[in-house]
A and B are shown apart, each in its own frame.
Chain A
Amino acid sequence: MTFHSTDPAIPNDWESPALTGRHRLPARAYFFGYASAALAGTMDRRNSRGFVDLTGEWRFRLYDHPARVPAQALAPAGGDAGEWDTVRVPHLWQVDGYGRLQYTDEGFPFPVDPPRVPADDPTAVYRRTVVLPKAPAGERTVLRFDGVESYAEVYWDGAYVGMTKGSRLAAEFDVTDVAHPGENHLAVKVLQYSDGTYLEDQDMWWASGIFRDCYLLSRPAAHLADFHVRTRRLDGDRAELTLSATAAGAPEITWEVHDGARPVASRPVVPGTDATLVVEDAHFWNPEDPHLYDMRLVVRGPDGTVEHVPHRLGLAEVTIAEGRLLLNGAPFMMHGVNRHDHDDRRGRAVGMARVERDLLLMKQHNINAVRTAHYPNDPRFYELCDRIGLLVVAETDLETHGFANVGDLPRITDDEAWRTAFTDRIERHVRAQRNHASIVMWSLGNESGYGRNIPAMYRRCKELDPYRPVHYEEDRDAEVVDVVSTMYSRVSQMNDMGEHPHPKPRIICEYGHAMGNGPGGLAEYQQVFERWESIQGHFVWEWCDHGLVAVGDDGREYHSYGGDHGDVPNNGTFCIDGLVFPWQEPSPGLLEYKQVICPVRVTWADGVCTVANRRWFTDLSDAVVVVETLHDGRVVGSRTLVPGAVPPGGSWRAELRPDVAAHGETHLTARVLSTAARPWAEPMHELGRYQVAVADRPRTPAGPTAAGSVTTGVEGTSLVVTAPATGDRFTVDLLNGDLTWRSRDRELLAAPPRVGFWKPLIDNHQQENDELWAPRFLSLMQTSVRDVAWRERDGAVVVEVSARIAPPTLDIGMAVGLTWTLAADGVRLAVTGEPYGGYRDIVPRIGLSFAVPAELRAVDWYGLGPGENYPDSRAAATLGRWHSTVDAMFTPYVVPQDCANRGEARWMALTDPHGDGLAVRAAGSGPFAFSAWPYSAEAIDAARHRTDLAAEDRVTVNVNHRVLGLGSNSWGSEVLDGHRVRFEPFRFELDLRSVSGGASSYREGTAS
């Protein structure tokens, strides 16, 4: 049986949106039946009745047109077996090298002509054998697919079984009538594109195949057909459970609830009716304390067979009262992320081990909510969220974003002919997952415009689950949905909407676009979120970069993105926008997010330390606060505070009077630790850290240096300055002002210090570059030295350099003055800038760059650390004395870009393994920011992948007076005004010293 039509009046099945499947069983809750209570207790579906795992090796062949699939390819013989490849299912065939990968954010990869898709639709056939035992009489055999993209026809022993669409929605087929004892032949024909593709334009790789698990299961003659259990919180910590269950072949079901080994309640249930149970002293589920009961439904057949269906039950009720979302009666805020399925070697065919690690990483970073952008996940994902404690905004498999490219985003969303296709997607999703405590609301999809099919989806959703709220961002004014939602609203816009709230609760379902280096500004967003109680959720876009492992000609691995696979059109690096690198390690952005959503706040003022509980459901019994006193960044004392059982929203105070340094800076750093052992963390896991400045007292004036005076001489066009006591020799080019510095028989500068305003472009500044910088050639600014003068003063030599730094073709620029004071104990540099011409807008930085020899790779500093930080992304950093290396500090963004910045530095030193090197100290203009790269700025800017960067024989050092904030304007918020650096007058001073024996010998602190 084939449904490929050559008659234009008879549409193909894959181009018939009202046809969502053939012979597919009705959607039901995800559960398994076990033959015994003991087996049910394992909650391992591999032990369930008749479970046959169909993952693993399948024969595979890819055709370039559905009609090219010969009938024998689907028949038991299968044609010439030698012409078939072998693949491992689940997989995406393009990731395995068949066909072509393509990435677009929103544009469809083919002409927009719904419901038609390309006639030469790549079509794969999967084949395998299945050996089955003789099935007991009356038992039904069900074939299940948890995910096939995008259209699948199933054949059993050559006979057509059925068809399904909805790539990320489970599909079940009853194969009882075709299955037989012995060897069976299963074939699946999969089309890459179908009408469903128009509903699945979800900002990810275009790739297809059987990408989730598939398996067989058996249902005895008497079996549970479906169930829906929900919780209502009663007064006095009591919970009322309501069960609606349907069954086949049994007049009665036994419903049991256990709390561990303790029976809690049980009762018989008549299938087809609602039954209730009351749990006394209920232990309600919440993301901070995800307690689960064991629920069991037992179906006994007249033939003596028994089916045990286990379910982990969380007692969770979501309600809305007076415009606020409540979980079990308590308000809460979702600190969330948007998560796509992604594995850098398997694409969306992600294994559950990786999924679980994603979720554990979220918990480790204080995240309490996840939006399944933009489709349902593997059913086991929701079980993990129940168990680990994550609130889920459960989005169904829907996004029609590509219609925006033709100026008609709601084209099919507002088309009656597509209604079934839309409602089918919410129905199957809700039926499958509505028993999960973790699901806090349903989401109808993403970026599909607004039209008549949205209210239809909402109504169907409410019919199936009248209890949970429903979200859909494109219902902008919450005309029908229960939660009003926006995406990428700016900080002040969120403040506007919080200040004048909508009657319905509000979330921001996407913000903080985490593309490359960033996002910046999360702390300001968080302040607004926490200011207004109507704002109850925020979800950073997105969790993980979608880079796929690729191997270069030299055998080194890199991560690919749009355009790397010959795919045109593409959206390039727009899929590299996660808080987690493709290799599943946190980026600096995730560490920043962890801090701004830390559930315990610590402040200090006037000798009192206040510990505030920002959790919503649990107290601080597990929290301790280690408060360290730092004198000029060095820890000199520590005290541990134990706040005890501070209730949610409560706070605790303790007197804390630190030892204040007689000279220099005193800070308090508070580290909040949890003593609890969690599935995601060992005891003493750090939840966050805070710092407060206590005092900054004048330092002891520096004593006279014993270095003596320098001597001078002119050699040609160079000024040579020698410090007899140290042997240091400075040479100043009297034409271009360049400085060389020989110290300890080594040239300390591999490239002379130069003032600059450019740094390698980050993704989050691309729009600023497009609009402001590239048209003004800011990356190509030229330095023209107009005058170099020198004089001797107080045993030193003062060199004054006047230069103009300006881009080609334009009449804008900066008149810069550098004053070098070359003394026996080192160098002081004062820099001033005065802009000319008409440009006063933002620039990436104002600072100094130079290079040092490659062996100076050890980095010590007193400033913000330990990790990368920027003016608008520094919540996770504290002032301290830190040590790292040039290589370790270089953040391996998939697309190389500016990185490694450390702000608020009082001093920094780059040294070789002997401790010899160069130090920089802030002088009168206050702290500086610095970065030290193994590569030049030009090389970083030019690189498109990490493997484009080649080792260099020098270290590039940037010492910046000001650095522009990151923002998240790769899609969202520009840099906030308070973190902008403008092309305006400036002045800064630095001291440079040759050091020996490491930074410990360097004079500490800022100049007094």
Chain B
Amino acid sequence: MRIFRDHAQLEDVLGGAAKWDRTLQALRAEERLPGVMYSVGDSLTTMRARTSALATEDLVARRRYLFVLSPVDGDAEVDVAPVAGLVAADAYSDLSDRHHLRGAGERRTVPRGAVLVVDAGEAVRVLPAPDVTAVVAHVTVEGATFHNK
């Protein structure tokens, strides 16, 4: 799990790779409809939503897509934990790339404008409060050679 203090730092560290450039493009797209999932090529899907709508009871791990969250109008709270220390609540699904897990996570605050990147091997739970607007993205773990549609 990494928290970049702002988009510029994300760009400094990860920019230049197509999927992260597209992530920045997604984070900066302000005209999109809230609650609607868009895609940027096949690098990622992205949505602007309230954290109250993103919140889950379980921690959620993804194997093929990294979970990215960037609060827009306030600080967001999340729990993050390594998958290895959690108990499966259901089986991993290829259909949703989600694995619901139970257990305790480390509470982290993602400041407004910062960018949270949850790695494969970690699970995250977005908390409903504070209820702020955030942009989320599911960014492929596929490497540099994947086709760039």
Chain A interfacial positions (CB closer than 8 Å to B):
476-477, 486-493, 495-497, 499-503, 524, 527-528, 531, 767, 770-771, 969, 971-972, 974, 976-979
Contacts and interface: CB of A to CB of B under 8 A. Distances in A.
B36 A503 contact: yes
B145 A488 contact: no
A492 B97 contact: yes
A471 B100 CA distance: 36
Given A477-B38, A488-B42, A500 B47 contact: yes
A493 B138 contact: yes
B145 A767 contact: yes
A407 to B, nearest CB: 12
B92 interface: yes
18 contacts: A476-B38, A486-B39, A486-B42, A489-B42, A489-B45, A491-B97, A492-B64, A492-B65, A492-B96, A492-B97, A492-B98, A492-B138, A495-B97, A500-B36, A501-B36, A502-B33, A531-B95, A767-B147
A488 B39 CA distance: 11
Contacts of B47: 496, 500
B149 interface: yes
B142 interface: yes
B71 to A, nearest CB: 18
Q: Give the interface centre of A488, A489, A490, A501 by most chain B CB atoms within 10 Å.
A: A490
Contacts, number: 88
A493 B138 CA distance: 8
Interface of B: 32-33, 35-40, 42, 45, 47, 49, 63-65, 92, 94-98, 138, 140, 142-143, 145-147, 149
The 9 closest A-B pairs by CB, nearest first: A492-B97, A500-B37, A976-B94, A496-B45, A496-B37, A497-B37, A978-B94, A488-B149, A493-B45
B45 A491 contact: no
Nearest to B63: A977
A490 B64 contact: yes
Nearest to A770: B145
A771 B145 contact: yes
Contact of B39 (A493, A971, A977): A493
Contacts of B92: 977-978
B96 A488 contact: no
B84 to A, nearest CB: 15
Q: Give the interface centre of B45, B94, B145, B149 by most chain A CB atoms within 10 Å.
A: B94
Given A496-B45, A497-B39, A977-B63, A491 B142 contact: no
Contacts of A488: 42, 147, 149
A489 B33 contact: no
Contacts of A476: 38-40
B146 to A, nearest CB: 7
Contact of B94 (A489, A492, A503): A492
A489 B39 contact: yes
Contacts of A477: 32, 38
Contacts of A500: 35-37, 47, 49
A497 B145 contact: no
Contacts of A771: 143, 145
B42 A492 contact: no
B41 to A, nearest CB: 8
Q: Give the interface centre of B35, B38, B140 by most chain A CB atoms within 10 Å.
A: B38
Contacts of A503: 33, 36
Nearest to B47: A500
A594 B140 CA distance: 30
Contacts of B64: 490, 492, 974, 977
A491 B45 CA distance: 12
A528 B45 CA distance: 15
Nearest to A513: B147
